[in-house]
Amino acid sequence: EIAAQAIDLHKTYGKGAAEVRALDGVSLDLYAGQFTAIMGPSGSGKSTLMHCLAALDKPTSGEVVVGGRKLGRLRDRRLTALRRDKIGFVFQAFNLVPTLTAQENILLPLSLARRKPEKGWFDQVIDTVGLRPRLDHKPSELSGGQQQRVACARALVSRPDIVFADEPTGNLDSTSAAQVLDFLRHSVDDLGQTIVMVSHDPVAASYCDRVIFLADGRIVDELAKPSREQIL
């Protein structure tokens, strides 16, 4: 089953002599129930690709399909609803609300939409992420790794079709990074989630089922279940 698809994506910024080709013909099928990493040097187009796949940005040409829907065909209101209901986001900065507890932060996307989590799902997510003893803590009372795990739980709480994580371990020490990566791995294996992560870190990529390498806006290589040695 294909969770998201990029079909011949091009994205250019600027015009004339200042034109930058951020994406130069990227086609990619992302399979449901997989943990995929997108790697590549700085400026290779990783963020642009992820933003196009996540309906945060529009390609100059080409098509993105998420959950069977062609994003280019959707009106802004439908895109907003798709982002809210079907897509989860994790960023390098945790972006938690400092005045809310961990539980309130996790439930915030649903509260804003006046919805409740699917029965049993909140507990499954909390137990997988190992945050039950921290639910009443404010972000300032949590370690960086715990804050990022709260952000990951928040991304999963609507049980999205696909979760995009942009350098989720970029601000973390290696121990905290391992906790976040373990949770993302378990959310795929035990909760059936689909995760796409942009990362520079070979250790992070070694948690993935599949690693896509970008250079100059093109896919230049791909590895399945790579060992750390293969990525380093």
Q: Where on the chain is the footprint of ligand ADP (CB under 6 A)?
A: 13-14, 20, 22, 40, 42-48, 141-143, 145-146, 179
* Residue among 203, 142, 213, 215 nearest 174 (CA): 203
DSSP state of 59: -
Min dist CB 151 to ligand ADP, Å, is 14
Q: In what order do the strands lie in the sheet with 218-224?
A: 87-90, 162-166, 195-198, 35-39, 210-215, 218-224
The CB-of-73 to ligand ADP minimum distance in angstroms stands at 24
Q: Least distance (Å) from ligand ADP to the CB of residue 163? A: 18
Minimum distance from CB of 118 to ligand ADP (Å)? 26
Q: Give the shortest CB-42-to-ligand ADP separation in angstroms.
A: 4
Shortest CA distance to 52 belongs to which of 13, 107, 106, 85? 13
Question: Toward ligand ADP, which CB reaches closer, 8 or 118?
Answer: 8
Between CA 151 and CA 132 the distance in angstroms is 14
Nearer to ligand ADP (CB atom), residue 44 or residue 158: 44
* Residue 67: C-alpha distances to residues 87, 134, 161 (Å): 10, 34, 7
Of residues 148 and 158, the one with the C-beta less far from ligand ADP: 148
- Closest to ligand ADP by CB, 14 or 192: 14
Residue closer to ligand ADP, measured from CB, 34 or 92: 92
